[in-house]
Chains A and B, each alone.
Chain A
């Protein structure tokens, strides 16, 4: 698959025909949706918490400059350092310069989507530093040289047998006859291998789910404990986070934490929620000696100015993709960039341009499930519609579609004509379809009929039915 949103259509076509991917993605539908629903049902305050979480994010984004100022002041007061990075390149350079200054050879990493966004691993490798992903899913895809296909379950596109094959290919020092059939055995093997890496690492890099302005803390939420070993053992802890991760107070973090795990994995709470504030203190006998925060903009301040500000509320729970019929069918890689699913369809054009990612906001059925489950109530379908409008305004929409829209607009703005023509068209289609009521091919609709029949319209038009109904009820 081509790792670019420009190749979306080809990628999606390839993905829907991949039987292994289909098997793996079945776990998304079964696992995430049911668990979330159960967790939500157990907490009567869930919807009130969603409203509160949305309001916290709106307030913070409206005052983002001021909260970041306060946040930085607190980090500095605790002995940490904030590195302001307008671009991905700036962020990569900042991380590398810290690693080089302390002579780092290996770097352990907790899961971070920002690290993917700035292509950090490639940059470290190119400069002779070995990055080791320690989240199990991230470790697996690092072995495979892939990108995550989901923002919280990076290896969700893989089945157990593929992971077994990867472990056998990469862990050659272990006896080849060992059993690796059970997920349990795979987890054990990774645990053993990564343990040594944790202890040997010179620098630990984690992401952040929140930055707290009140205390200058970064917060990570994990289940494995890898993020904690990553920051507790090496001499240096680097946090990479984007601007919009800041929240005002610990109370605000608590409110959002209550909706985060439930929306993501359906857990009441994740196993580990860790607040990190500065480097180790006098008297501490473990913990890092240096604490750095790489604060990344990479297009976000521009998004803040326009109609896509609401997308910056996202807390990266993954609920929108877990509930998306398009994601269920094609998985995350087809989207061609870091963030897949509905939030990816909105963020990607914002961060890398609608010219690059124009297909993504079109990859939606507008069923509205993403908005219905979003813990911070981002109006995702509305934003995808905005992107489609923008694409049209900039003449990026394909010619055939522009022509089609032009024809439709001609009729739609002449209601009398529209009603008459749709009535004729319906009768014509019904006639062509014959008794089966299905069309196997139709001029101009090859994209549809190539892979499935088109059901012919039946009965009368909506307008005719509506008029008849109103006549009957006398309204």
Chain B
């Protein structure tokens, strides 16, 4: 072990008065127990609501943070919804896609005007389309994980980031998001990067006034696929 490590560890052990074997073993046990249990702290009540209400909360919180959300019925509807979005935002019909079968196998033929290419982001890309691992209702936060099918440059480099999220992926709290990660990747095996994204990039470094599009995407758009039974909604006023 390095001299630096020995020096720091020695200092910490002195500061914490370690040495007596018995108390050391007790401390070690306390640490092991805590790491194993991964006990939750207080979880906001607003996140602990039925699934349909979580989806509504996710949408409301994301919109509050300047993201936009469109609800669509199925994965097959993504290309048309994306075409609408590009047109409305006056963007060129060129999209960099995350190289995942889910996204690549969509009926892109139905939108022959959109030029689709899969891969990592290039500096010149204007629009990216990615999936997500979860949506966290509590603050309208998307959870994305890196991987061969999910290059993370797509989340940050293009000016416009469009994310496909299924309603069934929406969870209440951050801790529910961690549980999703443990289900998918196993314990102690996170992908290289987990990105929690809440709205588009922003800064308040100039006189504390908020400006969107600091370094990351200027716009964040969510295509929310309603793959679950919709619950009762107050604002059910059509598509």
CA distance A278 to B121 in the complex (A): 21
Is the beta-carbon distance between A159 and B207 smaller than 8 angstroms? yes
Is the beta-carbon distance between B216 and A305 smaller than 8 angstroms? no
Contact of B203 among A136, A160, A215, A285 (CB under 8 A): A136
Cβ-based interface call for A49 (8 A):
yes
Is the beta-carbon distance between B4 and A224 smaller than 8 angstroms? no
How many of chain A's residues have a CB under 8 angstroms from any CB in B?
Answer: 103
The contact sample of 14 A-B pairs, CB cut-off 8 A, is A65-B16, A66-B28, A84-B2, A186-B206, A187-B211, A195-B215, A224-B215, A232-B153, A232-B193, A268-B61, A269-B141, A273-B195, A275-B194, A277-B194
Query: In the complex, which residues of chain B have a beta carbon less than 8 angstroms from the beta carbon of A70?
Result: 31, 35
CB A57 to nearest CB in B, in angstroms, measures 12
Closest to A226 in B: B215
Query: In the complex, which residues of chain A have a beta carbon less than 8 angstroms from the beta carbon of B99?
Result: 285
| Residue interface bits B139-176, CB-to-A below 8 A is 1, else 0 | 11100001110011101110000000000000001110
Cβ-based interface call for B49 (8 A):
no
Is the beta-carbon distance between B193 and A45 smaller than 8 angstroms? no
Is the beta-carbon distance between B195 and A228 smaller than 8 angstroms? yes
Task: Contacts A48-B42, A199-B123, A228-B155 given; indicate if A254 touches B192 (C-beta within 8 A).
Answer: no
CB B89 to nearest CB in A, in angstroms, measures 18
Task: Contacts A269-B139, A271-B202, A284-B151 given; indicate if A184 touches B195 (C-beta within 8 A).
Answer: no
Query: In the complex, which residues of chain B have a beta carbon less than 8 angstroms from the beta carbon of A455?
Result: none
| Residue interface bits A1-45, CB-to-B below 8 A is 1, else 0 | 000000000000000000000001001101110000000000111
Task: Contacts A225-B214, A281-B147, A286-B153 given; indicate if A30 touches B208 (C-beta within 8 A).
Answer: yes
Query: In the complex, which residues of chain A have a beta carbon less than 8 angstroms from the beta carbon of B79?
Result: none
Cβ-based interface call for A249 (8 A):
yes
Cβ-based interface call for B40 (8 A):
yes
Is the beta-carbon distance between B203 and A233 smaller than 8 angstroms? no
CA distance A203 to B165 in the complex (A): 33
CB A286 to nearest CB in B, in angstroms, measures 4
Cβ-based interface call for B51 (8 A):
no
Is the beta-carbon distance between B38 and A251 smaller than 8 angstroms? yes
Is the beta-carbon distance between A272 and B197 smaller than 8 angstroms? yes
CA distance A269 to B66 in the complex (A): 13
Interface residues of A in 143-178 (CB under 8 A from B): 153-156, 159-160, 163
Query: In the complex, which residues of chain A have a beta carbon less than 8 angstroms from the beta carbon of B14?
Result: 301, 305
Is the beta-carbon distance between B192 and A287 smaller than 8 angstroms? yes
Cβ-based interface call for B131 (8 A):
no
| Most chain A CB within a 10 A radius of its CB, from B30, B139, B193, B217 | B193
Is the beta-carbon distance between B8 and A301 smaller than 8 angstroms? yes
Cβ-based interface call for B39 (8 A):
yes
Cβ-based interface call for B105 (8 A):
no
Task: Contacts A45-B45, A276-B193 given; indicate if A67 touches B31 (C-beta within 8 A).
Answer: yes
Closest to A228 in B: B156
Cβ-based interface call for A388 (8 A):
no
Query: In the complex, which residues of chain B have a beta carbon less than 8 angstroms from the beta carbon of A83?
Result: 2, 4
Cβ-based interface call for A265 (8 A):
yes
Cβ-based interface call for B18 (8 A):
yes
Task: Contacts A65-B16, A226-B214, A297-B8 given; indicate if A254 touches B44 (C-beta within 8 A).
Answer: no
Size category of the B interface is 35 or more
Contact of B175 among A44, A64, A254 (CB under 8 A): A254
| Residue interface bits B204-224, CB-to-A below 8 A is 1, else 0 | 111111010111110000000
Is the beta-carbon distance between B206 and A301 smaller than 8 angstroms? no
Query: In the complex, which residues of chain A have a beta carbon less than 8 angstroms from the beta carbon of B15?
Result: 301-302, 304-305
Query: In the complex, which residues of chain B have a beta carbon less than 8 angstroms from the beta carbon of A28?
Result: 208
Cβ-based interface call for A383 (8 A):
no
Cβ-based interface call for A252 (8 A):
yes
Closest to A66 in B: B31
Is the beta-carbon distance between A271 and B155 smaller than 8 angstroms? no
Is the beta-carbon distance between B35 and A304 smaller than 8 angstroms? no
CB B165 to nearest CB in A, in angstroms, measures 17
Query: In the complex, which residues of chain A have a beta carbon less than 8 angstroms from the beta carbon of B203?
Result: 136-137, 187, 223-224
Is the beta-carbon distance between B139 and A229 smaller than 8 angstroms? no
CB B201 to nearest CB in A, in angstroms, measures 4
Is the beta-carbon distance between B193 and A223 smaller than 8 angstroms? no
Is the beta-carbon distance between B12 and A225 smaller than 8 angstroms? no
Is the beta-carbon distance between A84 and B8 smaller than 8 angstroms? yes
Query: In the complex, which residues of chain A have a beta carbon less than 8 angstroms from the beta carbon of B38?
Result: 214, 249-251
Contact of A49 among B42, B207, B217 (CB under 8 A): B42
CB B153 to nearest CB in A, in angstroms, measures 5
Query: In the complex, which residues of chain A have a beta carbon less than 8 angstroms from the beta carbon of B231?
Result: none
Cβ-based interface call for A52 (8 A):
yes
Contact of B204 among A68, A217, A265, A280 (CB under 8 A): A265
Is the beta-carbon distance between B205 and A155 smaller than 8 angstroms? yes
Is the beta-carbon distance between B193 and A215 smaller than 8 angstroms? no
Query: In the complex, which residues of chain A have a beta carbon less than 8 angstroms from the beta carbon of B208?
Result: 27-28, 30-32, 153, 156
CA distance A63 to B64 in the complex (A): 40
CB A227 to nearest CB in B, in angstroms, measures 9
Query: In the complex, which residues of chain A have a beta carbon less than 8 angstroms from the beta carbon of B2?
Result: 83-84
Query: In the complex, which residues of chain A have a beta carbon less than 8 angstroms from the beta carbon of B148?
Result: 281, 283-285
| Residue interface bits B188-202, CB-to-A below 8 A is 1, else 0 | 101111111111111
Query: In the complex, which residues of chain B have a beta carbon less than 8 angstroms from the beta carbon of A265?
Result: 204
CA distance A297 to B12 in the complex (A): 10
| Most chain B CB within a 10 A radius of its CB, from A49, A52, A53, A277 | A277
Contact of B44 among A43, A78, A86, A153 (CB under 8 A): A43
Query: In the complex, which residues of chain B have a beta carbon less than 8 angstroms from the beta carbon of A77?
Result: 188
Cβ-based interface call for A324 (8 A):
no
Contact of A56 among B13, B41, B214 (CB under 8 A): B41
CB B130 to nearest CB in A, in angstroms, measures 12
Cβ-based interface call for A257 (8 A):
yes
Is the beta-carbon distance between A84 and B205 smaller than 8 angstroms? no
Interface residues of B in 2-42 (CB under 8 A from A): 2, 4-5, 7-9, 11-16, 18, 27-28, 30-31, 34-35, 38-42
| Residue interface bits A246-264, CB-to-B below 8 A is 1, else 0 | 0011111011011000000
Task: Contacts A64-B16, A284-B148 given; indicate if A214 touches B8 (C-beta within 8 A).
Answer: no
CA distance A67 to B27 in the complex (A): 10
Is the beta-carbon distance between A155 and B34 smaller than 8 angstroms? no
List the 4 shortest-distance A-B pairs measured between CB atoms, nearest first.
A225-B216, A301-B11, A283-B148, A255-B41
CB B231 to nearest CB in A, in angstroms, measures 23
